[in-house]
Structure 1
Amino acid sequence: MTVYNFSAGPAMLPKPVLAQIKEDIPSFQNSGMSVMEISHRSDLFDNVIADAKNDLRELMNIPDNYKILFLQGGATLQFTALPMNLATQYNHIGLIDTGHWSTRAGEEAEKIGTEVTTVATSKNNDYHQLPEYTDDDNRYDYIHLTTNNTIEGTAFSKLPKTKNVLVGDMSSNFLAQQYNVEDFGAIYAGAQKNLGIAGLTVVIVREDLIGKKPLPSMLDYQLLANKNSMLNTPPVFAIYAAGLTLKWLKDIGGIAEMEKINRQKSNQLYQFLDQSKMFNNLIKPADRSLTNIPFVTGNKELDQELIAQASDRGLVNIKGHRLVGGMRASLYNAMPMEGVVALTDFLEEFEAKHLEEN
């Protein structure tokens, strides 16, 4: 039985990447050492991290005046690191509230004494759509935005206009759809959804925004950039896996081609949900995510039955987040169209069976 993993993260990896990892586990590039054993100070790893940075810069058209950091601690640690590094003039940031993870970003910033103002929110609509935002103050060090909301199922396809520096948490649609890096002062993303395995976080930051004050070493973007992300032992294996994923993405045509594929995949599922008599996606169509699609029946017992039967069919991890319930299909880059077709076929069968019985 073929298994399709719809988990919100850690997510499935591309098959060619898994095959290469399997080959490199015993001996990396005929070194006699496993890829999990190579030193971060070795020439072998120098090539790995350099290739990964160069490929990422090429894929995202990252200008030379932006630093690329490969860090640990998850995107959650960046909720703290970002204000420490960037909120240096006013100690005040604006938050566009689109759900759980944007709220968490604000809460963590406040813990270190940064003033946080919610400049727009869609909480009153249960986060079923994105809020409208216009600048109301230019005394923010930056405006924080979550480009894709993993739990709620919304995403920005068009960025809000701001005179302030824009910072984007891009964790769940990083490399899945196109954005202009120069529209942001900083971008950050956990790797475990579209870039590889858990344990790696990417930060892309404009160099004129960092190095403003001394900070604890492991949270200091300038120091980490000066040390090529190797102030301590970096997540070697995770960076290696990310490098393979970036090469796979280049091979299929880059981010523009990946976004085209992701739109085809998401349309397959949205079209079914929109005509369904049993399932509902509650998100405003213009604000729908390409990568995370929540849906419900309105009946918790029926949801549980569906989740169990789906798992028996090899359609695993479609249980919705505990905050919203129901189901969720995460269609990250490595999810093939065949997996989405298998899911919609199953949902169609499940619906027909239950409508017939009732």
Structure 2
Amino acid sequence: MKKHNFYAGPSILSEYTIKNTAAAVNDFAGTGLSLLEVSHRSKEFVAVSDEARALVKELLDVPAGYEVVFLGGGASMQFCMVPFNLLNKKASYLDSGTWASNAIKEAKFFGEVEVVASSKEANYSYIPKGYSIADDTDYFHFTSNNTIFGTEMRYDPDVKARLVADMSSDIFSRPVDVSKYDVIYAGAQKNLGPAGVTLVIVREDALGHVERPIPTILNFKTHIAKESMFNTPPVMPIYASLQTLKLYKELGGVKVLEKKNIDKAAILYDEIDRNKLFRGTAAVEDRSIMNVCFVMNEEYKELEAEFNAFASAAGMVGIKGHRSVGGFRASIYNAMDKSSVEALIQVMKDFEKKH
């Protein structure tokens, strides 16, 4: 039976990425060595790192004055690195979910943090709007996609302040105007590669303005100067990420990916809205095209465990909602084929007929 992988992260990877990475684990670039044991400073792997960074710039149309680095520590490390490098006195944050809230918590160690708006009172079911950002803020930070609650900002905010975004779960799902941002960061394990590496895009002239000393390894300048090789990088996740980037280029780039993602999400939301058993949890205007979150309607709530078992028996993997909210979550990242979404829809229809 075919398995359909709806896990939120680590999540589905393309067959292209898995196949090519598996081959390199056996023999990397004709060296006779495994990718798992090759030196990160070998000419073969340096070429991998260089090509991956160049493809990020090409696919996202990164302008001059920006650098791309691959770092460890996940997006959670960026919750610390961003304020370490950019927060001099005050920063502004949008509280739109769990990960945004965690970023706020870390930033408070470095200076004043103004939460410009929050949707916490409504269980983060919508993206806050109509807020203002102080003129004297060092930067404005937002999380573009909220995996746990299924909301997404699929646009680039127009703000006067420096702009920072955590795009861990929707990077490469749509075109981005990188010129509006000073830092974009993203954990790989959604739309790029396996867990273990974090992509960071940094505007160079945004750096060097804080008064505090910055530990060497937490300084963006260090990693830019050393081209992601200050310390041993996560070799295999970077190689796998390169395979994904090559596939994205082959498919036609992020505009093509965005159209596919919109189409997949639309048919799944249509079924949720139609099916008497289910309802979506995110405000319609803020629905994520990466993480589709839904629950049983109140009168059918006792069927939740049964539906999980029913879907699992049909090959649906990872649709159980985050432990903090319950319900269901179908993560339909770039690597998810429309046929898998259609298979889930059929399972939902079959379960409805049963009840």
Q: Does the 8 A contact of 1:135 with 1:162 survive in 2? A: no
Q: Which amino acid is the alignment partner of residue 64 of structure 2?
A: D
Equivalence for 2:351: 350
Equivalence for 2:333: 332
Q: Does the 8 A contact of 2:79 with 2:106 survive in 1? A: yes
Equivalent residue of 1:127, what SS? coil
Q: Under a length normalisation based on structure 2, what TM-score does the superposition of the two structures give?
A: 0.96
Shifted more, 157-166 versus 289-298: the winner is 157-166
Identity %: 43
Q: Which amino acid is the alignment partner of residue 22 of structure 1?
A: A
Deviation at 1:300, TM superposition (A): 4.9
Equivalence for 1:82: 82
Deviation at 1:280, TM superposition (A): 0.2
* Per-residue CA distance 1:238-283 (angstroms, 9 max, x = gap): 1100000000111111100000000111011001011111100022
Equivalence for 2:283: 284
Equivalent residue of 2:194, what SS? coil
Residue in structure 1 matching 2:95, options 91, 94, 97: 97
Equivalence for 2:202: 205
Residue in structure 1 matching 2:137, options 140, 149, 164: 140
- Segments of 5+ residues of structure 1 without an aligned counterpart are none
CA distance in 1, matches of 2:184, 2:144: 10
Residue in structure 1 matching 2:117, options 113, 120, 124: 120
Q: Under a length normalisation based on structure 1, what TM-score does the superposition of the two structures give?
A: 0.95
Indicate yes or no: 2:316 matched with 1:318.
no
CA distance in 1, matches of 2:29, 2:115: 50
Equivalence for 1:6: 6
Q: Does the 8 A contact of 2:293 with 2:321 survive in 1? A: yes
Equivalent residue of 2:305, what SS? helix
Q: Describe how 1:23-102 pairs up with structure 2 within 5 A.
A: 23-88=23-88, 91-102=89-100
Equivalence for 2:235: 236
* Per-residue CA distance 1:144-170 (angstroms, 9 max, x = gap): 100011011111123333111111000
Q: Count the aligned residue pairs.
A: 351
- What is the RMSD computed on CA atoms of the aligned residues? 1.2
Instruction: Return structure 1 stretches of 4+ with deviation > 6 angstroms.
Output: none
Q: Which amino acid is the alignment partner of residue 142 of structure 2?
A: L
* Per-residue CA distance 1:185-241 (angstroms, 9 max, x = gap): 110000000000000001111000113453111110001110111111000111100
Q: Which amino acid is the alignment partner of residue 73 of structure 1?
A: G
Q: Does the 8 A contact of 1:296 with 1:327 survive in 2? A: yes
Q: Does the 8 A contact of 1:67 with 1:205 survive in 2? A: yes
* Per-residue CA distance 1:56-102 (angstroms, 9 max, x = gap): 100000012111110000000100110000113xx211111111111
Equivalence for 1:221: 220
Shifted more, 152-161 versus 190-199: the winner is 152-161
Q: Does the 8 A contact of 1:134 with 1:160 survive in 2? A: no
